Chain A
Amino acid sequence: MSESASFARRIDVLAEIVAFTTAAFARQGIPAALRADVDFVLEELFTNIVKYSRGKAPVVIEIAAIPEGVEVTLTEPEADRFDVTKASPVDVTLPAVQRQPGGLGLYLIPRLVDSLQYGYSEGERCSRIVFRKTNATPSPGAAGRNEDERC
């Protein structure tokens, strides 16, 4: 079972995404303990699209239960290629006075999920990000994968 919904590219839509995620978790019996990390990853990916992408078409989020967890797919039409699995590194050892908040969201994503895949279709100008989160303890820096032409 899976369910999907479309969301306009506005920051204030985050509340609708949280409501959708909450309902999907409940309907599919996905462990609630995974919600915060899934919400975090979705927020970072979605706000990144809102801030930097030039497209206007709604973004589609699909949520599907998997054994002991969830698989989430975020599809962005009218997308430019931006591989989130290759986000710039962030030096998290710097002292406070030298720290800048920028880039932390994308940096944290692979550390919170079990897997992260990015695909881009040149022909359709469509990007697709798939991540999985389960009850298994994540290993910091879980490897991301790039799979082009998967939209």
Chain B
Amino acid sequence: MLTMEGGGETPVVLSGRLDATQAAAAQAYLDRLQGVVTLDCSDLQYLSSAGLGVFLKTHKRLLGAGGRLRLTAVNRHLQDIFSYSGFDQILEIEPGR
């Protein structure tokens, strides 16, 4: 289960698991946002390659319009996924505790 709240002037808070069953809903949510979009990942427990695809597609769309995607409070599991996939080189990522 994944919940997403916020956006626009406030960070988007993701809670739960961003897996293959949640990717379409997450993409639809992020597709509405513009500019510099911050994702608060402090309660995002899990991310699969389907979630990576959502982040990549969103980041590329935002870049095309002068914005970008940035992630904050990223946990250890997510940091490993971002590191091994090279996403730590293309996204602005702020580690969590």
Residue total for A at the interface (Cβ-Cβ under 8 A): 28
Q: Let me know if B50 and A47 touch, CB within 8 A.
A: yes
Q: Let me know if B46 and A140 touch, CB within 8 A.
A: no
- Interface residue A37 (Cβ < 8 Å from any Cβ of B): yes
Q: Let me know if B20 and A47 touch, CB within 8 A.
A: yes
Chain B stretch 30-82: residues in CB contact (< 8 A) with chain A = 45-50, 52-53, 56-57, 59-60, 63, 77, 80-81
Interface string of A123-143 (1 = CB under 8 A from B): 000000000000000001000
Q: A14 contacts which chain B residues (CB < 8 A)?
A: 19-21
Q: A96 contacts which chain B residues (CB < 8 A)?
A: 56, 59-60, 63, 90-91
Chain A stretch 99-125: residues in CB contact (< 8 A) with chain B = 99-101, 104-105, 107-108, 111-112
B interface bracket (residues with beta carbon within 8 Å of A): 20 to 34
With CB as the reference atom, state the residue of chain B lying closest to A107: B85
Within the assembled complex, what's the spacing in Å between the Cα atoms of A123 and B80?
39
Interface residues of B (CB under 8 A from A): 17, 19-21, 45-50, 52-53, 56-57, 59-60, 63, 77, 80-81, 84-86, 89-91
Interface residues of A (CB under 8 A from B): 11-12, 14-15, 18, 36-37, 39-40, 43-44, 47, 92-97, 99-101, 104-105, 107-108, 111-112, 140
